[in-house]
Each structure stands twice: as C-alpha cells, then as structure tokens.
Amino acid sequence: MRVLGIETSCDETGIAIYDDQLGIMAHQLYSQVALHADYGGVVPELASRDHIRKTIPLIEAALAEAGCSRDDIDGVAYTAGPGLMGALLVGATIGRSLAFAWNKPAVAVHHMEGHLLAPMLEERVPAFPFVALLVSGGHTLLVRVDGIGRYQILGESVDDAAGEAFDKTAKLMGLDYPGGPRLARLAELGQPDRFKFPRPMTDRPGLDFSFSGLKTATATTIAAEGNDDQTRADIAHAFQQAVVDTLAIKCKRALQQTGLNRLVVAGGVSANVSLRQQLETLMTGLKGEVFYPRNEYCTDNGAMIAFAGLQRLKAGETEPLAVRARPRWPLDELEAVN
C-alpha cells in the first residue's frame, strides 16, 4: 500500500509518500519560521494562509520526487488534530478532497500518534510494549504503548509543555524565534555549576510535569544576574539541564512503574543532544533500550503521518466525506489497530 501523508497542524507544511514495501519514497517539508520570526511566535491566521499556498505545490513535488501519479496512490492520510484549528482545516480539506477526487480512501491521523510511531520509520524498530516520551512545543506526555492505538497516558504537563518552556525562556533571554534550538546551542557554552534551578514535581510521587515554575525561576535569575554573554550562556545551561533532568527522572519512574525496559522518545524536543545523552545513560544503567527518529522526523513532517495513516488504512479505517478537525484530541481516545 502506498499512502500520501499531509501534515499542517502548526507552522510546517509536511508532505510525504510512504510505501509499505519501499519505505519513504518522497519527503517534502516547508517551514514557516521566517514568516513568524518578526512576531516572536506562531501567528495562527498567517500559518493557515501559508499552508493554503504551499500544500498543493508540495504534493505535486512529492509525486514528482517519488515518480508517482495519483493513480499510484492507494490512500490519503492527513493530520486532523490536535493543533491550530485553521491550519488543521487546510490539510484536512485538501486531503479529504483529493481522496474524493481520486476515488481513494482517506484517514484522519492524530498528530501525536504520528510522532509516537516516527521511530518505526528507522531500521531499528522498537517492539511493543514500550514507554513513550512525547515531548514537543505543544505536548509533554508519558505513554504506555501496548500496540497501535493501545495507549495509556501515564503523565502529562499540567501547564507549559517542555518545548514551550524552552521557547518562552529563550524569548526572556532575548533570543530570536524559534528560541528552543537557539537556547540549546547557547547552553553548550555555559558553565555547568554556576546556577541551579528546580526540577519541578520530582520531589513528589507521580508522572505529571510542570515547567511554568522553572520558567519563572529562570526569569528571576535573568533579572537579578544581568545579561552579559557568559551569564546568558550559564543560565541557558542551567535551564536546559533542569528540563533534561526532570524528563529523565520521570522516564525512569515510568519504566519502573510499568516494568518495561524500552523507551521511545519523539517530538521536536527529542532532537535535543543533551536529552539524548542523558536518556542513553539512563537506559544503559537500566539495561534497556532507547529509540528515536532521525532529526528530520523529530519535528512535524508528512512521513510520520503517512506511516501512521497506512497502519489505520490497512486495518480498514476510513474517514467519511465530511471534513473534521479536532484542535484538542486526547491520545487515549484512539481506537486500537488489531
């Protein structure tokens, strides 16, 4: 089966074609970073309009890259949520309309299920069951995964997601949008022991996360300590280490609670080098394994949507003609794929 995947949940237009025998045949991605940079964050209306301009040309480019025509496509998968409502409606409307025009089945994909399954695009594939850490600009989740669609939420953020905390803290430090990756690069220049920030909610039982207090502690330190280059780097290092330590502590708890020894890490923040190093060390100590997608599949992309959609299309799922988008969509509401 060969599936066209469409991702338009936020500020990246991702198109891919995935074949269950050949793998990824085409991968097209357009980032709106330059469009939103002047505003210091994503402007939903601008994001939606840009998806309208870019989605069809990228689909045409993907078909050309794969050497395919519409007749070679067996189904269309598109992100239907969660995300920005206007942006979701662009991809969902185009995807469902193309499927109707081409007389192909369509399937609506959960954005976070796409991220969760992204490591399965690699040669080294995790076996079920495993614990997944989904960590991005919009979500921080710990999930027990017993199969596709068989998800148990173990913990989640009660306020800012980890990636959101990175971006907001970077803005406090005067770093340009997108701030998270810039803060991570600045942290590499920081002294390890100058500042110490709290590891939120690690001093109590449970697997939920909170990063708003850490952001406040960092803002207070920025205001008190000045803003020279080395101080900014030291603060960035301390902030990043606090986030990484918090995520690692909660992952260890989740693995011990479930008795599992496989960890999947996905979402935009999973590309963070410091996080990967710490989780590798953690899993080595636990005699377990950790799995990631390659960096280009950590951020939003069409390949993960095509792959997730293919699994559900093969199980017989199809979307009715009505276009539906869900800006909020709990992951554990998905049906299991047998």
The residue count of the chain comes to 338
Q: What is the percentage of the chain residues whose pLDDT exceeds 70?
A: 100
Q: What is the pLDDT of residue 15?
A: 98
Please enumerate, by residue number, every residue annotated as part of a binding site.
Answer: 111, 115, 134-138, 167, 180, 272, 300
* Residue for token pair 């207070």: 220
Rg (the chain; Cα; Å): 20
For the CA atoms of 138, 143, 146, 148, the dihedral, rounded to the nearest 10 degrees, stands at -10
Q: What is the percentage of the chain residues whose pLDDT exceeds 90?
A: 96
How far is the C-alpha of 2 from the C-alpha of 16, rounded, in Å? 10
Pick the CATH number of 128-292 from 3.30.420.40, 3.50.50.60, 3.10.180.10, 3.40.50.10680: 3.30.420.40
CA atoms within 13 A on the CB side of 311: 21
Please enumerate, by residue number, every residue annotated as part of a binding site for Fe cation.
Answer: 111, 115, 300
- pLDDT for 338 beyond 90: no
Helices 44-66 and 85-102: crossing angle in degrees, nearest 10, is: 30
DSSP β-bridge partners for residue 77: 5, 107
Overall average pLDDT of the 15-41 stretch: 96
- pLDDT for 108 beyond 80: yes
- pLDDT for 232 beyond 90: yes
Got the DSSP string for 287-315?
A: T-EEE---GGGTSS-HHHHHHHHHHHHHT
**Could you tell me the CA-to-CA distances from 163 to 107, 111, 189, 205, 242 in Å, in that order?**
28, 16, 20, 23, 13
**Could you tell me the CA-to-CA distances from 303 to 3, 16, 40, 159 in Å, in that order?**
10, 5, 28, 29
Q: Per-residue pLDDT tens for 259-315?
A: 999 999 999 999 999 999 999 999 999 999 999 999 999 999 999 999 999 999 999
Tokens of 253: 């708890």
Please enumerate, by residue number, every residue annotated as part of a binding site for substrate.
Answer: 134-138, 167, 180, 272
Overall average pLDDT of the 100-121 stretch: 98
> 2-117+297-333 is classed in which CATH architecture?
2-Layer Sandwich (3.30)
H helix count then E strand count, the chain = 10, 10
Overall average pLDDT of the 16-45 stretch: 96
User: For the whole model, what pTM was predicted?
Assistant: 0.96
* Residue for token pair 């709990």: 330
Q: Is the peptide bond before 205 cis (omega within 30 degrees of 0)?
A: no
How far is the C-alpha of 36 from the C-alpha of 42, rounded, in Å? 5
- pLDDT for 19 beyond 90: yes
Q: What is the pLDDT of residue 297?
A: 97
Diameter of the chain measured on Cα atoms: 63
- pLDDT for 254 beyond 80: yes
**Fold match between 2-117+297-333 and 128-292?**
yes
Q: Per-residue pLDDT tens for 151-189?
A: 999 999 999 999 999 999 999 999 998 999 999 999 999
The dihedral of CA 273, 305, 13, 211: what is its sign? negative
Overall average pLDDT of the 86-100 stretch: 98
- pLDDT for 227 beyond 80: no
pLDDT band at 226 (very low <50, low <70, confident <90, very high): confident
How far is the C-alpha of 163 from the C-alpha of 237, rounded, in Å? 15
Q: Per-residue pLDDT tens for 47-82?
A: 999 999 999 999 999 999 999 999 999 999 999 999
DSSP β-bridge partners for residue 150: 147
Domain range annotation of the chain = 2-117+297-333, 128-292
| Contact by Cβ (8 Å): 13, 29 | yes
